[in-house]
Structure 1
Amino acid sequence: MNPILDGVRVVDLTTCLAGPLATRILAEQGADVLKVEPPDGDPARSWCPAGFAAWNRSKTGVALDLTVDADRRVLDTLLAAADVLVHDRSQAQARTWGLDDESLASRHPHLVTAAVTGYPDGHPDEGRPADEWLVQARLGAMDEQQALRPGPMFIRLPFASHGAALLLAGGVVARLFERLGTERGRSVRTSLLQAALAPASLYWQRAGNPPEWLSRNTLRRDDHPSNLTIFECSDRWLHVLGGFSLSSVMQEVLAEAGESELAPQGVTRENRGRWEPIFRTRTVDEWCRLLWAAGVICVPVLDVGEVLGLEQARLNGYAVEVDDDRFGRTVQAGAPLTTAPPAVVRCGAPWTPAPVDEVRAAWSERGPRAVLRHGPAPAEGMAGVRVLDLGSYVAGPFGGQCLADFGADVVKIEAPWGERGRQINQFTGSQRGKRSLAMDLRDERTRPLLRRLLAEADVVTHNIREAAARKLGIDEDSVRAVNPDAVYVHATAYGDVGPWAEFGGFDPAAAALGGWTKGIVGPRGRPTWLRNSSMDTHTGLTVFLAAALGLYQRATTGRAGRTSTSLLAVAVSSASEAMLAGPGLELLPIVPVDEDQTGVSPHHRIYRAGAGWVAVAALTSVSRKALLEVAGVDDEADLGAALATREVKELVAAFDDAGVPAEVVAQSNRDAFFDRELAMSSRLVERSETVPYGWFENPGGYWSEASGVLRSRRPVPGVGQHTVEILREAGVDGSDVEAGLAAGYLSETQIAAPSGRAANTLTRSLNR
């Protein structure tokens, strides 16, 4: 069986993390990717060689100087034989090389063009520096994370870049799917800002009639359960989630310790000191064996990259062995999703570029491009694609939201009392663009209705554990029995196979396994909860990518396969700056953040400046010299004291004039950001009218095209708001609908949950 993207050719002009990771994902799904580097190479070769190896394997490399006419002609010859061009320049910058969308559409109408920049084209910030941590600073993301000292944190995880990679890869596949019907390539763009807005959308929200849980635009930084339940054991740290204190096994442990009264209290700031000695009585492995057997979610807090040695990661293909020309035998982060056929590592990274003539000869002839072999011709975006979203919380539903942004008709099926996530503010950041059908899948009377909906679906997606899905009739076998042509996308906690396959998990568990619970605080800091839920949103973005690959595969082969992803897959991918290498496969660690969580070096960090903070990214010798000159010092060790005396906005203006990439570290920035984006109608923030919350505002618009931001205008739905409408469209008799509404297994509005079906202890703890 040929790979999903077999025959697709991609020219990759990007550097650093986001673009190269996106094209590597495409390469390992079968695309032939040519990495075109400038004469001085991709900067990642020097500042993150392990990352360069992981982000650029499975590609061929070549060096071209695009300031030279002859090399631009070589590139144009390659583009004539390519299907996709990926670059990291704004339209204005690309125009100087004839690589803007308009010029490429004229010369190569078949070509899908994709770009990842710092900020969207046409946005007022378009010309600002496209550095991961400067984008975090300007948006205000650094102020959303609790540091181990007062003030914002330099968040060591490059979550915007990882998110942008998934957005870019998914956008490319969606455009290839569209091209099967339109026979013309179109552009898709994203940016670090748009990727950073994905996790921000879970917390940054305003509404006219908000419930209490929606009125908190940021979660508390010191006493949230997800932060309080990180414990030091006798050997290392453990993260425990949910209402673990009420489990029978934990009550037995507390009784033995003479602390039974802690069980109903849970963990609070006031009593945490009484919990700590209890957890120090066992090793992490002992606690995991004890608690997992009782259904309690708990995971070890690993170092960044340590997850590459985890058996569960290896069994699911999330950690792969690669022979690398520089590092030798390695274990690197694998594909963040599972497909059939599976992703395949084709070769190590191209440390030595291939001869240009050799590449031109290889690309001089090509076979026919993929054509539509099954189903109706795709329209623009994903218009006409029907999606059933049966997930809850964030990781699954966020993917459905992205499918809706691309134009798919997404039906959210939830219980008449609402899905469990409706009591946390992450819910509203994951539901835009959907219609809600309220139906109790545990009631046998809904099975004929479910089968009718499944029969018409193009994509079925959920993040329910397989055993539970089987009981509800939405596991893969049950779906295939009704509709063998459906693309089935399953988001799990830890993968499809292995000893952890049926265990539950949530975003904080993935962050702990990926190493970021420790990685954001430095080697000697107390592990801290990564608050932004980027593991959840990135899993959702991978659900979108998986669905796009599944739709493309079905359209080109007639086979509708299974695709899946998991929180663990995304956690491993987030650690791709690290690797295991050498004969003993030892961990090559990442460059750590400093003990104060201000940065990774004197020239790439945040500094106090007057009453605020400034972020700098002086990554070249020229900008480092200018940094010292603006500060008025000769030694980098004196930068902190010198910059602390300056007013922050004046300082950033001076850095701009001197060519030093820098930004003000925005603090408490939600309202200012919303007001600005709404005033200029950027669509990065939009207001909509909702049934549950009145007017509602939140970020979105993770992709752009020539006409502007891609974003569904359909608002977050109320429970069952579209039940009757959807069932009528499916041909269900009106009397059957009325009977279901009367009996309570269907609903048009949110009703009270039957006894025992209210929000579980985890939801209550997240909302506490």
Structure 2
Amino acid sequence: MTTGRTAGHGPLAGVRVVELAGIGPGPFAGMLLADLGADVVRVDRPGGSALAIDPAHDITNRNKRSVIVDLKAPDGPARVLDLAARADVLIEGNRPGVAERLGVGPADCHARNPRLVYGRMTGWGQDGPLADRAGHDVSYIAVTGALGLIGTPDRPPPVPANLLGDYAGGSLYLVVGVLAALHHARVSGTGQVVDAAIVDGTAHLSAMIHGMLSAGGWQDRRAANLLDGGCPYYGTYETADGGYMAVGALEPQFYDTFVDLLGIEDLREARTDWTRWGELREAVAARFRSRTRDEWTARFEGSDACVAPVLSLREAPRHPHLAARGTFTDHGGITQPAPAPRFSATPTTVRTGPARPGADTREVARDWDIPELVTDRVRTPAETAAGPPAEANATTTATTTGTTPVTTTATTPVKDFPHQGD
């Protein structure tokens, strides 16, 4: 039964998840499960990650709890296996074979808990020629063809942050796989391994475009198609003040409204005449450059022209529609996206801020009935400097300080842990 300060009320309330700490898609997947109400316990290692941000601002660790376990210590793997024995799901993002070498691989965990869903998040996957190689989001999306879809032919493909690979092709597919496997485990009583690779997920996202390519409806080059910026009424345009407007007036009725409000009614027939698309693009660009972004936003407001302003991260929460829906929320002084999607019977919320490494060790030890998490935990720097604790007071000392966040120096090579380099 789920208890403690992060007890969820979403559709996954009562589901227990162990997340072996990493960066990128693994923590984001853990956040998705935690947002949905799961009791997610993040197993942090001493020293954290070389690429980690300030834990107080790491939103991907919201709604979770954290314990510190040194997997290189003699008793470290046993503590993770204790957690796995009581969990429904475990997710990890190490390179293939690392979890096995550490003693917390699928076979080790399933020996303790045959019903466990063991989710593996990597860039290249568990097998294949590149499985053991390092990589990052941009590397993975490059080989899938997805990166080659973006931008104009006269410039290198632009990097779309790390949303397309890490989170869309990675985290979301891991979560879909884990939830499907969890359903199977509850029906059959048998867990399984979910091999979620960013290359697989990102390639899968392009399914419709591959169908269009096969049918002759898509050219295999950039900015030459309806949905990649090749069409003058589906793209972005600069405004007089250096802002941008996004246009998606694909359907005839929306296009008619668009040209009317833009003031280029004489180009209504150019929509279906691709030989005039150059002329149309120049006219659209010239008109948008004649007014500011806010002026054009007001001009198209309330219409079905499918035109919207391009907002920055700081501007987005103030957009009237997003503000009305509560798309963003404030918690602990941090403005952040609210949990999504929304549920009519099992609503979700941001229950707690980012978990601090090791801050919840005592609470998790109690709730999950693993007292060894406290008695065997990593000591804080202050305790280490004071020397070894007296044998008689060892348990008491650990219990009273078990909620202190740990910031010890890293003792584990970073290369062993990130998802293929992330």
The reply to whether TM is greater than 0.5 is yes
Q: Distance in 1 between matches of 2:124 and 2:326?
A: 33
Q: List aligned pairs for 1:511-590, cutoff 5 A.
A: none
Matching residue of 2:22: 15
Q: Distance in 2 between matches of 1:129 and 1:5?
A: 33
Matching residue of 1:175: 181
Q: CA deviation at 1:73?
A: 1.5
Q: 2:257·2:304 contact (CA, 8 Å) conserved in 1?
A: no
Matching residue of 2:387: none
Matching residue of 2:133: 128
Q: Distance in 1 between matches of 2:298 and 2:196?
A: 43
Q: Distance in 2 between matches of 1:2 and 1:279?
A: 47
1:720-739 alpha-carbon deviations (Å, 9 max, x no partner): xxxxxxxxxxxxxxxxxxxx
Within the alignment, does 1:232 sit opposite 2:238 as a pair?
yes
Matching residue of 1:27: 34
TM-score when scaled to structure 2? 0.74
Matching residue of 2:216: 212
The verdict on how the C-alpha distance between 1:213 and 1:41 changes in structure 2, with shifts beyond 3 A counting, is: same
Q: CA deviation at 1:168?
A: 1.3
Q: Distance in 1 between matches of 2:57 and 2:118?
A: 23
Pick from 183, 203, 206 the counterpart of residue 200 of structure 1: 206
Matching residue of 2:256: 247
Q: CA deviation at 1:123?
A: 1.7
The verdict on how the C-alpha distance between 1:282 and 1:94 changes in structure 2, with shifts beyond 3 A counting, is: same
Pick from 261, 280, 287 the counterpart of residue 266 of structure 2: 261
Matching residue of 1:363: 368
Q: CA deviation at 1:275?
A: 3.0
Pick from 53, 64, 68 the counterpart of residue 63 of structure 1: 68
The verdict on how the C-alpha distance between 1:144 and 1:288 changes in structure 2, with shifts beyond 3 A counting, is: same
Unaligned 5+ residue runs, structure 2?
1-7, 371-412
Pick from 151, 154, 157 the counterpart of residue 156 of structure 2: 151
Within the alignment, does 1:335 sit opposite 2:342 as a pair?
no
Q: CA deviation at 1:35?
A: 0.8
Q: List aligned pairs for 1:101-140, cutoff 5 A.
A: 101-140=106-145
Q: CA deviation at 1:318?
A: 2.6
1:554-579 alpha-carbon deviations (Å, 9 max, x no partner): xxxxxxxxxxxxxxxxxxxxxxxxxx
Q: Distance in 1 between matches of 2:258 and 2:159?
A: 39
Q: Distance in 1 between matches of 2:82 and 2:162?
A: 38
1:438-478 alpha-carbon deviations (Å, 9 max, x no partner): xxxxxxxxxxxxxxxxxxxxxxxxxxxxxxxxxxxxxxxxx
Q: Secondary structure at the match of 1:75?
A: helix
Q: 2:234·2:247 contact (CA, 8 Å) conserved in 1?
A: no
The verdict on how the C-alpha distance between 1:288 and 1:244 changes in structure 2, with shifts beyond 3 A counting, is: farther
The verdict on how the C-alpha distance between 1:142 and 1:108 changes in structure 2, with shifts beyond 3 A counting, is: same
Matching residue of 2:302: 293
Q: CA deviation at 1:79?
A: 1.7
Matching residue of 1:312: 321
The verdict on how the C-alpha distance between 1:44 and 1:337 changes in structure 2, with shifts beyond 3 A counting, is: farther
Q: 2:259·2:265 contact (CA, 8 Å) conserved in 1?
A: no
Q: CA deviation at 1:352?
A: 4.2
Q: Which AA in structure 2 matches 1:57? A: R
TM-score when scaled to structure 1? 0.43
The verdict on how the C-alpha distance between 1:162 and 1:252 changes in structure 2, with shifts beyond 3 A counting, is: closer
Q: Which AA in structure 2 matches 1:72? A: P
Which piece of structure 1 moves more, 132-141 or 93-102? Answer: 132-141
Pick from 359, 376, 382 the counterpart of residue 354 of structure 1: 359
Matching residue of 1:714: none
Q: CA deviation at 1:230?
A: 2.1
Q: List aligned pairs for 1:323-472, cutoff 5 A.
A: 323=332, 329-340=333-344, 341-354=346-359, 356-364=361-369
Q: Distance in 2 between matches of 1:263 and 1:50?
A: 54
Q: 1:161·1:195 contact (CA, 8 Å) conserved in 2?
A: no
Matching residue of 2:382: none
1:77-132 alpha-carbon deviations (Å, 9 max, x no partner): 22222111110124522211232223322221121111101112122211121421
Q: Distance in 2 between matches of 1:622 and 1:92?
A: 15
The verdict on how the C-alpha distance between 1:232 and 1:50 changes in structure 2, with shifts beyond 3 A counting, is: farther
Within the alignment, does 1:88 sit opposite 2:97 as a pair?
no
Q: Distance in 1 between matches of 2:149 and 2:210?
A: 10
Q: CA deviation at 1:225?
A: 1.6
Q: 1:239·1:300 contact (CA, 8 Å) conserved in 2?
A: yes
Q: Distance in 2 between matches of 1:19 and 1:248?
A: 44
Pick from 39, 43, 47 the counterpart of residue 36 of structure 1: 43
1:613-639 alpha-carbon deviations (Å, 9 max, x no partner): xxxxxxxx999xxxxxxxxxxxxxxxx
The verdict on how the C-alpha distance between 1:53 and 1:148 changes in structure 2, with shifts beyond 3 A counting, is: farther
Q: List aligned pairs for 1:702-741, cutoff 5 A.
A: none
Within the alignment, does 1:191 sit opposite 2:197 as a pair?
yes
Q: Distance in 1 between matches of 2:296 and 2:101?
A: 60
Identity of aligned residues (%): 23
Q: CA deviation at 1:177?
A: 1.8
More strand by share: 1
1:295-352 alpha-carbon deviations (Å, 9 max, x no partner): 21111011245323333234334312111xxxxx111122231113221212111234
Q: Distance in 2 between matches of 1:184 and 1:124?
A: 30
Q: 1:21·1:55 contact (CA, 8 Å) conserved in 2?
A: yes
Q: 1:143·1:153 contact (CA, 8 Å) conserved in 2?
A: no
Equivalenced residues, count = 357
Q: 1:9·1:83 contact (CA, 8 Å) conserved in 2?
A: yes
Matching residue of 2:375: none
The verdict on how the C-alpha distance between 1:298 and 1:246 changes in structure 2, with shifts beyond 3 A counting, is: closer
Q: Distance in 2 between matches of 1:158 and 1:10?
A: 24
Q: CA deviation at 1:261?
A: 2.5
Q: CA deviation at 1:148?
A: 8.1
Q: List aligned pairs for 1:611-760, cutoff 5 A.
A: none
1:148-201 alpha-carbon deviations (Å, 9 max, x no partner): 853343343431111211111222222222222112322212011112213333
Q: CA deviation at 1:27?
A: 1.0
Q: 1:45·1:52 contact (CA, 8 Å) conserved in 2?
A: no
Q: Distance in 1 between matches of 2:322 and 2:17?
A: 28
Pick from 276, 280, 289 the counterpart of residue 285 of structure 2: 276
Q: Secondary structure at the match of 2:185?
A: helix
Q: CA deviation at 1:228?
A: 6.3
Q: Distance in 2 between matches of 1:81 and 1:25?
A: 20
Q: Secondary structure at the match of 2:209?
A: coil
Q: Secondary structure at the match of 1:16?
A: coil
Matching residue of 2:331: 322
Q: 2:109·2:116 contact (CA, 8 Å) conserved in 1?
A: yes
1:578-621 alpha-carbon deviations (Å, 9 max, x no partner): xxxxxxxxxxxxxxxxxxxxxxxxxxxxxxxxxxxxxxxxxxx9
Unaligned 5+ residue runs, structure 1?
324-328, 366-620, 624-660, 663-768
Q: Distance in 1 between matches of 2:221 and 2:362?
A: 55
- By relative contact order (CA 8 Å, sep 6+), the higher-ranking structure is 2
Q: CA deviation at 1:44?
A: 4.4
Q: 2:56·2:356 contact (CA, 8 Å) conserved in 1?
A: no
Q: Which AA in structure 2 matches 1:291? A: F
Q: Distance in 2 between matches of 1:17 and 1:60?
A: 18
Q: Distance in 2 between matches of 1:51 and 1:311?
A: 29
Q: Secondary structure at the match of 1:338?
A: coil
Q: CA deviation at 1:141?
A: 3.8
Q: 1:115·1:189 contact (CA, 8 Å) conserved in 2?
A: yes
Q: 1:230·1:240 contact (CA, 8 Å) conserved in 2?
A: yes
The verdict on how the C-alpha distance between 1:281 and 1:146 changes in structure 2, with shifts beyond 3 A counting, is: closer
Q: 1:54·1:333 contact (CA, 8 Å) conserved in 2?
A: no
Matching residue of 1:735: none
Matching residue of 2:390: none
Q: 2:141·2:164 contact (CA, 8 Å) conserved in 1?
A: no
